[in-house]
Amino acid sequence: MNKHHYVAIMAGGIGSRFWPQSRTGYPKQFLDILNTGKSLIRWTYERYGAFIPNENIFIVTSEEYVQIVKDQLPELPAENILAEPSRKNTAPCVAYISYKLLQKDPEASLVVAPSDHMILDTDEFKKITLQALDFVGQIKALVTLGIKPTHPNTGYGYIQHETLQAGEGIYKVKTFTEKPNLELAKTFLASGDFLWNAGIFVWQVKTVMKAFEMYQPEMYELFDNEKAAFNTADEKAAIQRIYPLCTNVSIDFAIMEKAENVYVIPSSFGWSDLGTWNSAYENLEKDYLGNAVTSDNVIVIDATKCMVSAPKNKLLLLQGLDDFIVIDTADVLMICKKEKEQAIKEYVAEVKRNKGDQYL
């Protein structure tokens, strides 16, 4: 293992598309969504632990989730859990860990990754990630991992790349496109030079901090003014001062879509962002009628192609439903057509309007 290789696992989101199982106080990254016996963050931690030194693995999360991270990852050093005082999207998160590492190890190369994705082929994933780390060690590049699309998905962002290689299997990025409509997604798939944006980034920290200085000078200045506090007892107080002043912006929009030195590695390692109940359905085993059930205490009669999750201590009998999401918890039951899953965020907002925060 290379002592200059680090990973920052981002674990501060609330996973509202997985409501009602994912709640503000205990969101999806800490849940065993796929009924594997391990939470999503545990899987992510172990995946990187295979080739990143344990002391170089950092979790960036919300203050309210620090204890959950400690409980689920007891072998991780407590000082490697970075607490954000507020949710400001991914750019401040990346600036925080990057500036912290810059003071600690100027030669640091960093992987930035979500905590709640699924990756089936861990050997291929390790190989691609190490290739990216090697590339950024030689060239001042910002690298993203792009997934070779298998169908015209409208729920993912897309990355278009040049046709000539910049390195073996590495291409310069031409454009980023947000979630397209179906016709555009079909065009992207047919062109052969578009990839799904996995939201996994690799760079040297000094390279990304130069990018912050150029494209996000105000945010850069906020962190630079407090640099003496990083890796000291004053770090928490410094972050409490910095975050309220940071723009709420994603790293994609803040840096990646603006920078000139952005590269992508087309990858196939069994990736899913597990962003919705439908994506969970696609990755779960099905019965002979196409139902994906994550509990042993569910009886299904004349129901097909349903996504069903229920507490283990509660019997659920399902009859006559076709293509539904059925999520039962101790205090909420949601029955929703699968085709309406993108509206779950709106339903959560409706619950908040009518019932307050009690069920969120």
Residue 122: is its pLDDT beyond 90? Answer: yes
Residue 252 and residue 218 in one domain:
yes
Dmax over CA atoms of the chain, in Å, equals 65
Last-in-domain residue among 272, 305, 338 = 272
Residue 208 and residue 121 in one domain:
yes
Residue 211 and residue 118 in one domain:
yes
Residue 166 lies in a domain: yes
Residue 90 has a CB neighbour count (10 Å cut-off) of: 24
Residue 353 has a CB neighbour count (10 Å cut-off) of: 8
Residue 257 and residue 286 in one domain:
no
Among candidates 192, 205, 198, 208, which has minimal Cα distance to 262? 208
Supply φ then ψ for residue 13, to 5 degrees. Answer: -75, 165
Last-in-domain residue among 209, 237, 272 = 272
Structural domain of 41: 5-272
Last-in-domain residue among 272, 307, 326 = 272
Structural domains of the chain, count: 2
Residue 259 has a CB neighbour count (10 Å cut-off) of: 18
Residue 107 lies in a domain: yes
Residue 321 and residue 172 in one domain:
no
Residue 99 lies in a domain: yes
CA 275 – CA 82 distance, rounded (Å): 24
Mean pLDDT score across all residues of the chain: 92
Residue 220 and residue 315 in one domain:
no
- Amino acid identity for residue 20 in this structure: P
0.85 exceeded by pTM: yes
Residue 216 and residue 311 in one domain:
no
CA 331 – CA 20 distance, rounded (Å): 9
CATH code of 115's domain: 3.90.550.10
Residue 216 lies in a domain: yes
Residue 249 and residue 285 in one domain:
no
Specify whether the CB–CB gap between 187 and 63 falls below 8 A. Answer: no
If one compares 241 and 163, the residue with the highest pLDDT of the two is 241
Model confidence at 15, in pLDDT bands (50, 70, 90)? confident
- In this prediction, residues 139-165 reach a mean pLDDT of 87
Q: Name 306's Cβ contacts closer than 8 Å, sequence gap at least 6.
A: 290, 291, 292, 300, 318, 321, 322, 323, 324, 325, 326, 338
With left for phi above 0 and alpha for psi between -120 and 50, is residue 56 left, alpha or beta?
Answer: alpha
- Angle formed at CA 160 by CA 181 and CA 92, multiple of 5 degrees: 90
Work out the percent of the chain whose per-residue pLDDT is above 90: 75
Residue 360 lies in a domain: no
Residue 171 and residue 207 in one domain:
yes
Residue 153: is its pLDDT beyond 80? Answer: no
Model confidence at 85, in pLDDT bands (50, 70, 90)? very high
CA distances from 14 to 21, 58, 173, 309, 329 (A): 11, 19, 30, 19, 17
Residue 168 has a CB neighbour count (10 Å cut-off) of: 8
For 273-323, what is each residue's pLDDT tens digit?
A: 888 899 899 989 999 999 999 988 899 999 999 999 998 889 999 999 999
Residue 310 and residue 198 in one domain:
no
Residue 186 lies in a domain: yes
Residue 54: is its pLDDT beyond 90? Answer: yes
Residue 189 and residue 295 in one domain:
no
If one compares 261 and 151, the residue with the highest pLDDT of the two is 261
Residue 248 and residue 345 in one domain:
no
Q: Assign 3-class secondary structure to the chain.
A: CCCCEEEEEECCCCCHHHCCCCECCECHHHCCCCCCCCCHHHHHHHHHHCCCCHHHEEEEEEHHHHHHHHHHCCCCCHHHEEEECCCCCHHHHHHHHHHHHHHHCCCCEEEEEECCCEECCHHHHHHHHHHHHHHHHHCCCEEEEEECCCCCCCCCCEEEEEEEEEECCEEEEEEEECCCCHHHHHHHHHHCCEEEEEEEEEEEHHHHHHHHHHHCHHHHHHHHCCHHHCCCCCHHHHHHHHHHHCCCCCHHHHHHCCCCCEEEEEECCCEECCCCHHHHHHHCCCCCCCCEECCCCEEEECCECCEEECCCCCCEEEECCECEEEEECCCCEEEEEHHHHHHHHHHHHHHHHHHCCCCC
